[in-house]
Structure 1
Amino acid sequence: MPRPIVARIHTHALAHNLAVARACAPRSRVWAVVKANAYGHDIAHAFPGLKQADGIALLDMDEAVRLRELGWTGPILLLEGIFEMRDWEVVEAYGLTTAIHHEDHLRMLAERRPTQPLPIYLKMNSGMNRLGFTPDAYRDAYARARDTSAIGPITLMTHFATADGPQGVSAQMTVFDQTANGLPGERSLSNSAATLWHANAHGDWVRPGIMLYGAAPSGIAADTAGRLKPAMSLVSRLLSVQTLRPGDTLGYGATFTAKGAMRIGVVACGYADGYPRTAPEGTPVVVDGVRTRVVGRVSMDMLTVDLTPCPNAGVGAAVELWGTQLPIDDVAQACGTIGYELMTAVTARVARVSDDTSPTV
């Protein structure tokens, strides 16, 4: 029998969250972002819940090929573009759309002779300062792309840095609108945060990512409570129960000392499964349906929890590290990180299992 830790993927939740994205941006089409193996959920398990998207966006060529093998015939967008000349062969063979964000991309396409012109997303650096042509260079890049025979339809694209915070998107929107004024082509600007909270930025295509998986772009669960459903439940069981006496210490480094007699549960989950080693005492966890806390240091294969609030929990009791009973954002906040990192950190040794028993949205 394998270790009891499993990442349960809720296909119906993915479909629900995609419907929320559509409702937020009813006049836009939707790229469902599945980068990082569908944010750690596994593309094969996520795909059934996202098949109603208008397109699927990701980073890696092999993930694009995998999507085609799963039966996806719609558009696929490579968000980071290509990396070397031979990548164009994959783009052509699998009918991909690619972001173009630097001079080498334009140069390579100028040298390319595809069987038919390739659609591109021409990226503007409107203030994120990662990828894209600067506003001063963007219109010239657009003109050269338009005059390149290998390039077909051009969509204008940018990415927001602060859509999830008080700064919002207005500064970058101004830069984008002023620079792109008069240029033909569809627009794609909005990530999850802008899709949820900035209707003026929706454009022709929105690109929701984290919201599809049920976490808040802001990292605060309350910001999307009641709107989004968690698409992953990381669950396990108690392997052992120990009783500590007053003064007993617990785990590596003896970082926790019992103040009185208490029961401790040992969970089959550790940092080799992707749970953060830095999770401090007090990080929430649900045991036997009751919210309690992590105590002691997380080790490679196990972590320990306080069973004081769950007196009936024994060996084999169900444990939820995050999921339908415990928002991933609450765990991330306790650990000083974000839900994105927790999702994508779940390692390959943790089985992903779809529990799509409720397929309705």
Structure 2
Amino acid sequence: MPRPTVARVDLDALRHNYTLACEKAGTARAMAVVKADGYGHGIAAVAGALANLAPKYAVACLEEARAIRAAGLAQPVVLLQGVHQPGDLAECRERAFEPVLHSAEQLEWLAGAGTPPAFWLKVNSGMNRLGFGPGDLLAVVSGLGVASSRPALQGFVTHFACADDPDSPMTDAQTAAFVSATMPWPELMRSVGNSAAHFRPGQPLFDWSRPGIMLYGGSPVLGKTGPELGLRPVMRLEAPLMATRWLKPGDSVGYGAVWTATVETRMGMVAVGYGDGYPRHAGTGTPAAVGGQRISLIGRVSMDMLAVDLSAAPDARTGDAVELWGDTVPIDEVAGHAGTISYELMTGVTARVPRLYSGN
């Protein structure tokens, strides 16, 4: 019998979160961001579950776009990193992939590509990763003088650096820079809205928003969990309680003996560890749950197992399923204890953990 450590994926919750993104987007349409294997949930299953809702998908790279076509889905797919070699543009044209071009080199490839694919231009409004500076945009668009290139230009994309922080003025500054830079082309589309932007009062999302982490139930806003924003958790990571024992005062647990019992404590071992993608830096006090009762980790996380204090769950027995994150324990809370973000936890669940789907 296989080890019953699994990631349960609720596709109804995914659809709920996408619908909420559409409501938050107002008049903008929402392209579903399914990069990084659908944020670790399985790109084919995630994209398929949204097939009757999402008019467009967004991914990082060509390989992910191909996975969407392999799943039998025909919606246009935006490639947020553009393309990595000239020959990719022909495939984009043939398969309705829309690269976001961000460099002079990519524009040179475009000029030599014959009939170009539909494409977008990335505007560097202040995040300073990729894109053309606002002051350069007029020359960039004018340089697309080839008759076949100009009609293929869909519009402009930018990305916010601090939209997760309601107190940061940077998002307003980036929005103003983007609006000013793209003003000469009101007929073209614009896209700025990452997940966090959906929750900023008064934030314009223009023509297309790009919900990502919020689709999967993770919070894009500092100081908030997904459920506090009306999002439903899509992934429930669970593993069996494989053993229990009573520890006496003075007994320690695990590598480094970093936790020692001060009172008699019932301890349980759970069959999950950093080899499954559970964060090694989630230490003592990180929440988990069994039978709907919240419990906490003790000691260090090992590759294949971790220890929990069962004092708050006296009825727990060997074989019971322990929730590492899900409905009872928000993934954002676990991420906070581990010094990371929910994005990393979701995408870090390894291939040896089966994804089990419901709500299809």
Matched position secondary structure for 1:170: helix
Matched position secondary structure for 1:200: coil
Matched position secondary structure for 1:145: coil
Give 1:244-255 correspondences, 5 Å limit: 244-255=247-258
- 2:352 and 2:222 map into 1 onto residues whose CA distance is 26
Matched position secondary structure for 1:8: strand
Please tell me whether residue 324 in structure 1 is matched to residue 327 in structure 2. yes
- 1:270 and 1:90 map into 2 onto residues whose CA distance is 40
Q: CA deviation at 1:256?
A: 0.8
Structure 1 residues 181 and 226, CA, compared in 2 at 3 Å: closer, same or farther?
Answer: closer
Please list the CA deviations of residues 165-204 of structure 1 after superposition, one character each: whole Å capped at 9, or x if unmatched.
1115210011111111222411111100112224432100
- 2:224 and 2:278 map into 1 onto residues whose CA distance is 19
- 1:228 and 1:198 map into 2 onto residues whose CA distance is 17
Please list the CA deviations of residues 241-271 of structure 1 after superposition, one character each: whole Å capped at 9, or x if unmatched.
1111110111111111111111111001000
Q: Which runs of 4+ in 1 moved over 3 A?
A: 219-224
Give 1:346-361 correspondences, 5 Å limit: 346-356=349-359
- 1:89 and 1:216 map into 2 onto residues whose CA distance is 37
Matched position secondary structure for 1:12: helix
- 1:146 and 1:328 map into 2 onto residues whose CA distance is 49
2:348 equivalent in structure 1: 345
Q: CA deviation at 1:300?
A: 0.4
Structure 1 residues 232 and 127, CA, compared in 2 at 3 Å: closer, same or farther?
Answer: same
1:149 equivalent in structure 2: 148
Please tell me whether residue 259 in structure 1 is matched to residue 259 in structure 2. no
1:124 equivalent in structure 2: 123
Conserved in 2, the CA contact under 8 Å of 1:220 and 1:330? no
Q: CA deviation at 1:306?
A: 0.2
Q: CA deviation at 1:88?
A: 1.7
Count of aligned pairs = 355
Please list the CA deviations of residues 29-54 of structure 1 after superposition, one character each: whole Å capped at 9, or x if unmatched.
11100110010111122123322112
Moved more, 87-96 or 126-135: 87-96
User: What is the identity, as a one-letter code, of the residue corresponding to 2:243?
Assistant: S
Q: CA deviation at 1:307?
A: 0.4
Please tell me whether residue 10 in structure 1 is matched to residue 10 in structure 2. yes
User: What is the identity, as a one-letter code, of the residue corresponding to 1:80?
Assistant: Q
Structure 1 residues 146 and 322, CA, compared in 2 at 3 Å: closer, same or farther?
Answer: farther
Structure 2: unaligned runs, 5 residues or longer: none
1:171 equivalent in structure 2: 173
Matched position secondary structure for 1:218: coil
- 2:223 and 2:353 map into 1 onto residues whose CA distance is 26
Q: CA deviation at 1:153?
A: 3.0
Conserved in 2, the CA contact under 8 Å of 1:41 and 1:352? yes
1:78 equivalent in structure 2: 79
User: What is the identity, as a one-letter code, of the residue corresponding to 1:23?
Assistant: E
Conserved in 2, the CA contact under 8 Å of 1:219 and 1:338? no
- 1:193 and 1:49 map into 2 onto residues whose CA distance is 23
- 1:120 and 1:347 map into 2 onto residues whose CA distance is 33
What is the aligned-residue RMSD (CA, Å)?
1.5
- 1:123 and 1:198 map into 2 onto residues whose CA distance is 24
Under a length normalisation based on structure 2, what TM-score does the superposition of the two structures give?
Answer: 0.95
2:23 equivalent in structure 1: 23
Matched position secondary structure for 1:164: coil
- 2:48 and 2:80 map into 1 onto residues whose CA distance is 21
Structure 1 residues 219 and 264, CA, compared in 2 at 3 Å: closer, same or farther?
Answer: farther
- 2:159 and 2:139 map into 1 onto residues whose CA distance is 20
Q: CA deviation at 1:13?
A: 0.5
2:160 equivalent in structure 1: 160
User: What is the identity, as a one-letter code, of the residue corresponding to 1:248?
Assistant: D
